[in-house]
Amino acid sequence: KAGVTQTPRYLIKTRGQQVTLSCSPISGHRSVSWYQQTPGQGLQFLFEYFSETQRNKGNFPGRFSGRQFSNSRSEMNVSTLELGDSALYLCASSFTGGTGLSNTEAFFGQGTRLTVV
Amino acid sequence: TQLLEQSPQFLSIQEGENLTVYCNSSSVFSSLQWYRQEPGEGPVLLVTVVTGGEVKKLKRLTFQFGDARKDSSLHITAAQPGDTGLYLCAGGFPGGSYIPTFGRGTSLIVHP
Protein backbone atom coordinates (compact mmCIF):
# COMPACT_ATOMS: atom_id res chain seq x y z
CA LYS A 1 0.00 0.00 0.00
CA ALA A 2 1.09 3.59 -0.59
CA GLY A 3 3.16 5.25 2.10
CA VAL A 4 2.92 8.71 3.59
CA THR A 5 3.16 11.43 0.97
CA GLN A 6 4.36 14.94 1.74
CA THR A 7 4.32 17.85 -0.65
CA PRO A 8 6.25 19.81 -1.62
CA ARG A 9 9.66 18.18 -1.02
CA TYR A 10 11.54 21.46 -1.06
CA LEU A 11 10.48 25.03 -0.40
CA ILE A 12 12.29 28.36 -0.18
CA LYS A 13 10.50 31.29 1.44
CA THR A 14 11.49 34.72 2.66
CA ARG A 15 11.09 36.02 6.19
CA GLY A 16 7.60 37.22 6.98
CA GLN A 17 5.88 35.00 4.42
CA GLN A 18 3.61 32.13 5.27
CA VAL A 19 3.76 28.54 4.07
CA THR A 20 1.42 25.55 3.87
CA LEU A 21 2.68 21.98 3.83
CA SER A 22 0.58 18.97 2.94
CA CYS A 23 0.55 15.37 4.16
CA SER A 24 -1.46 12.38 2.92
CA PRO A 25 -1.34 9.51 5.45
CA ILE A 26 -1.38 5.79 4.80
CA SER A 27 -4.84 4.60 3.83
CA GLY A 28 -6.78 3.64 6.96
CA HIS A 29 -4.60 5.67 9.32
CA ARG A 30 -6.53 8.34 11.18
CA SER A 31 -3.75 9.96 13.17
CA VAL A 32 -1.35 12.44 11.60
CA SER A 33 1.50 13.99 13.54
CA TRP A 34 3.86 16.75 12.52
CA TYR A 35 7.48 17.11 13.60
CA GLN A 36 10.19 19.70 13.07
CA GLN A 37 13.70 18.33 12.71
CA THR A 38 16.83 20.44 12.98
CA PRO A 39 20.45 19.38 13.55
CA GLY A 40 20.56 21.09 16.92
CA GLN A 41 17.21 20.05 18.38
CA GLY A 42 16.47 16.71 16.80
CA LEU A 43 12.87 15.65 16.21
CA GLN A 44 10.45 17.98 17.96
CA PHE A 45 6.74 17.23 18.11
CA LEU A 46 4.48 19.97 16.75
CA PHE A 47 0.94 18.56 16.95
CA GLU A 48 -1.22 15.55 16.25
CA TYR A 49 -4.59 15.35 14.58
CA PHE A 50 -7.06 12.50 14.89
CA SER A 51 -10.45 12.48 13.20
CA GLU A 52 -10.15 16.15 12.22
CA THR A 53 -9.42 17.24 15.82
CA GLN A 54 -6.15 18.38 17.30
CA ARG A 55 -5.53 15.78 20.01
CA ASN A 56 -2.02 16.67 21.16
CA LYS A 57 0.13 19.77 20.87
CA GLY A 58 3.82 20.39 21.36
CA ASN A 59 5.53 23.48 22.64
CA PHE A 60 5.57 25.66 19.54
CA PRO A 61 4.29 29.24 19.08
CA GLY A 62 0.86 29.98 17.65
CA ARG A 63 2.44 30.78 14.25
CA PHE A 64 2.42 27.02 13.73
CA SER A 65 -1.03 25.63 13.05
CA GLY A 66 -2.59 22.69 11.33
CA ARG A 67 -5.76 21.02 10.33
CA GLN A 68 -7.03 17.65 9.20
CA PHE A 69 -9.66 16.91 6.63
CA SER A 70 -12.34 14.22 6.61
CA ASN A 71 -10.16 12.00 4.39
CA SER A 72 -7.39 12.23 7.06
CA ARG A 73 -5.15 14.39 4.88
CA SER A 74 -3.49 17.10 6.90
CA GLU A 75 -1.98 20.50 6.31
CA MET A 76 0.43 22.48 8.40
CA ASN A 77 0.71 26.25 8.18
CA VAL A 78 3.48 28.50 9.42
CA SER A 79 2.82 32.23 9.37
CA THR A 80 5.27 35.12 9.61
CA LEU A 81 8.24 32.91 8.83
CA GLU A 82 11.49 33.39 10.72
CA LEU A 83 15.00 32.28 9.77
CA GLY A 84 14.89 29.79 12.64
CA ASP A 85 11.94 28.00 11.03
CA SER A 86 14.30 26.52 8.45
CA ALA A 87 14.07 22.78 9.03
CA LEU A 88 12.93 19.43 7.74
CA TYR A 89 9.21 19.11 8.50
CA LEU A 90 8.08 15.53 8.86
CA CYS A 91 4.62 14.10 8.88
CA ALA A 92 3.88 10.70 10.41
CA SER A 93 0.74 8.64 10.24
CA SER A 94 -0.41 6.06 12.76
CA PHE A 95 -3.34 3.73 13.11
CA THR A 96 -3.93 4.41 16.82
CA GLY A 97 -7.07 2.37 16.70
CA GLY A 98 -6.89 1.44 20.37
CA THR A 99 -4.55 -0.29 22.80
CA GLY A 100 -1.69 -2.46 21.67
CA LEU A 101 1.67 -1.99 20.03
CA SER A 102 0.17 -0.18 17.07
CA ASN A 103 -0.38 2.73 19.43
CA THR A 104 2.92 4.41 18.82
CA GLU A 105 4.21 2.93 15.56
CA ALA A 106 4.63 5.93 13.30
CA PHE A 107 5.23 5.83 9.56
CA PHE A 108 6.96 8.88 8.18
CA GLY A 109 6.86 10.70 4.91
CA GLN A 110 10.02 11.91 3.19
CA GLY A 111 9.58 15.37 4.65
CA THR A 112 9.48 18.90 3.34
CA ARG A 113 12.76 20.80 3.49
CA LEU A 114 11.87 24.42 4.25
CA THR A 115 14.51 27.10 3.87
CA VAL A 116 13.73 30.63 5.05
CA VAL A 117 15.96 33.35 3.64
CA THR B 1 8.58 14.90 30.99
CA GLN B 2 9.69 11.44 29.98
CA LEU B 3 13.05 11.47 28.21
CA LEU B 4 14.93 8.98 26.09
CA GLU B 5 18.70 9.14 26.19
CA GLN B 6 20.59 7.68 23.25
CA SER B 7 24.30 6.88 23.24
CA PRO B 8 26.70 7.35 21.70
CA GLN B 9 25.66 10.50 19.89
CA PHE B 10 28.12 9.91 17.04
CA LEU B 11 29.87 6.79 15.80
CA SER B 12 32.36 6.48 12.94
CA ILE B 13 33.61 2.99 12.14
CA GLN B 14 35.16 0.92 9.37
CA GLU B 15 33.24 -1.58 7.26
CA GLY B 16 33.15 -4.99 8.93
CA GLU B 17 33.22 -3.74 12.53
CA ASN B 18 30.50 -4.47 15.06
CA LEU B 19 28.73 -1.80 17.07
CA THR B 20 26.05 -1.31 19.70
CA VAL B 21 23.91 1.76 20.35
CA TYR B 22 21.76 2.31 23.40
CA CYS B 23 18.45 3.86 24.34
CA ASN B 24 17.64 4.48 27.99
CA SER B 25 14.84 5.97 30.03
CA SER B 26 14.06 6.38 33.71
CA SER B 27 10.48 5.33 32.94
CA VAL B 28 9.01 2.05 31.79
CA PHE B 29 8.12 1.85 28.12
CA SER B 30 4.86 0.30 26.97
CA SER B 31 6.49 -0.22 23.58
CA LEU B 32 9.64 0.92 21.83
CA GLN B 33 10.53 1.43 18.19
CA TRP B 34 13.84 1.81 16.37
CA TYR B 35 14.03 3.90 13.21
CA ARG B 36 16.78 4.61 10.69
CA GLN B 37 16.89 7.92 8.89
CA GLU B 38 19.05 8.75 5.89
CA PRO B 39 20.00 12.36 5.12
CA GLY B 40 17.10 14.35 3.68
CA GLU B 41 14.61 11.52 4.17
CA GLY B 42 12.06 10.60 6.79
CA PRO B 43 12.77 7.97 9.47
CA VAL B 44 11.97 4.39 8.46
CA LEU B 45 10.59 2.01 11.08
CA LEU B 46 12.93 -0.96 11.67
CA VAL B 47 11.32 -2.81 14.57
CA THR B 48 8.92 -2.58 17.50
CA VAL B 49 9.56 -4.36 20.81
CA VAL B 50 6.98 -4.69 23.56
CA THR B 51 7.97 -7.54 25.91
CA GLY B 52 10.71 -7.22 28.54
CA GLY B 53 13.75 -9.28 27.52
CA GLU B 54 12.55 -9.53 23.94
CA VAL B 55 15.18 -9.99 21.22
CA LYS B 56 14.43 -9.40 17.56
CA LYS B 57 16.75 -9.90 14.61
CA LEU B 58 16.63 -8.16 11.25
CA LYS B 59 19.45 -9.60 9.11
CA ARG B 60 22.64 -8.20 10.73
CA LEU B 61 20.70 -6.05 13.22
CA THR B 62 19.79 -7.37 16.66
CA PHE B 63 17.40 -5.44 18.88
CA GLN B 64 17.05 -6.13 22.57
CA PHE B 65 14.51 -4.79 25.04
CA GLY B 66 15.64 -4.66 28.66
CA ASP B 67 13.97 -6.94 31.19
CA ALA B 68 12.57 -3.92 33.04
CA ARG B 69 11.48 -2.27 29.76
CA LYS B 70 13.44 0.87 30.55
CA ASP B 71 16.21 0.41 28.01
CA SER B 72 16.96 -1.04 24.63
CA SER B 73 19.98 -1.74 22.48
CA LEU B 74 20.66 -2.14 18.79
CA HIS B 75 23.64 -4.26 17.77
CA ILE B 76 24.93 -4.30 14.19
CA THR B 77 27.24 -7.10 13.11
CA ALA B 78 29.78 -6.57 10.32
CA ALA B 79 28.61 -3.05 9.53
CA GLN B 80 28.36 -1.98 5.90
CA PRO B 81 28.38 1.51 4.31
CA GLY B 82 24.67 1.06 3.63
CA ASP B 83 24.08 1.05 7.40
CA THR B 84 25.11 4.72 7.54
CA GLY B 85 22.36 6.91 8.95
CA LEU B 86 20.73 8.33 12.03
CA TYR B 87 19.32 5.68 14.36
CA LEU B 88 16.41 6.88 16.45
CA CYS B 89 14.59 5.15 19.25
CA ALA B 90 11.06 6.15 20.15
CA GLY B 91 8.91 4.97 23.01
CA GLY B 92 5.39 4.99 24.25
CA PHE B 93 4.74 5.20 27.97
CA PRO B 94 1.83 3.66 29.94
CA GLY B 95 -0.94 6.13 30.47
CA GLY B 96 0.62 8.55 28.02
CA SER B 97 -0.69 9.85 24.76
CA TYR B 98 -0.38 8.00 21.50
CA ILE B 99 2.55 10.20 20.55
CA PRO B 100 5.93 8.46 20.67
CA THR B 101 8.76 10.23 22.46
CA PHE B 102 11.93 10.32 20.36
CA GLY B 103 15.53 10.23 21.45
CA ARG B 104 18.09 12.57 19.84
CA GLY B 105 19.54 9.71 17.83
CA THR B 106 22.90 8.10 17.12
CA SER B 107 24.56 9.25 13.91
CA LEU B 108 26.46 6.32 12.39
CA ILE B 109 29.00 6.54 9.57
CA VAL B 110 30.45 3.34 8.16
CA HIS B 111 33.54 3.91 6.02
CA PRO B 112 34.31 1.49 3.15
Please tell me if residue A109 touches chain B, with a CB cutoff of 8 Å. yes
Scanning every residue of chain A, which has its alpha carbon at the shortest distance from the alpha carbon of B94? Answer: A99
**Residue B105's closest chain A neighbor by CA?**
A42
Residue B38 has pLDDT above 60, yes or no: yes
Residue whose C-alpha is closest to residue A47's, from B69, B98, B19: B98
CA distance A67 to A103: 21
Confidence check: pLDDT of A108 > 90: yes
pLDDT at residue B39 is higher than 70: yes
* B49-89 tens-digit pLDDT: 989 999 999 999 999 999 999 999 999 999 999 999 999 99
Q: What is the dihedral of CA B43, A19, A25, A37, to 10 degrees?
A: 20
Is A106 in CB contact (< 8 Å) with chain B? yes
How does pLDDT run across B10-36, given as a tens digit for each residue? 999 999 999 999 999 988 888 889 999
- For residue B112, give how far its alpha carbon lies from the nearest alpha carbon of chain A (Å): 25
Nearest Cα neighbor of B13 from B80, B89, B72 is: B80
Q: Is B98 on the interface with A (CB under 8 A)?
A: yes
Q: Which residue has the higher pLDDT, B93 or B38?
A: B38
The predicted pLDDT at position A100 comes to: 46
Segment A76-100, tens digit of pLDDT:
999 999 999 999 999 999 876 444 4
The CA distance from A9 to the nearest CA of chain B, in Å, is 10
Contacts of A71 (CB under 8 A, 6+ apart): none
Strand intervals (E) in A5-97 = 5-7, 10-13, 19-24, 31-38, 42-50, 53-57, 64-68, 74-78, 87-94
8 Å CB contact between B43 and B35:
yes
DSSP helix/strand/coil, A58: coil
Taking CA atoms, what residue in B is nearest to A48? B99
Q: What is the rounded CA–CA span in Å between residue B100 and residue B76?
A: 24
CA distance linking residue A117 with residue A17, whole number of Å: 10
Query: Is the Cβ pair B100, A111 closer than 8 Å?
Result: no
Residue B95 CA to residue B24 CA, distance in Å, equals: 19
Interface check for A15 against chain B (CB to CB < 8 A): the answer is no
**Closest by CA position to B82, among listed B62, B59, B104:** B59
Hey, of B23, B54, B98, B101, which one would you mutate to test binding to chain A, going by the most A CBs within 10 A of its CB?
B98
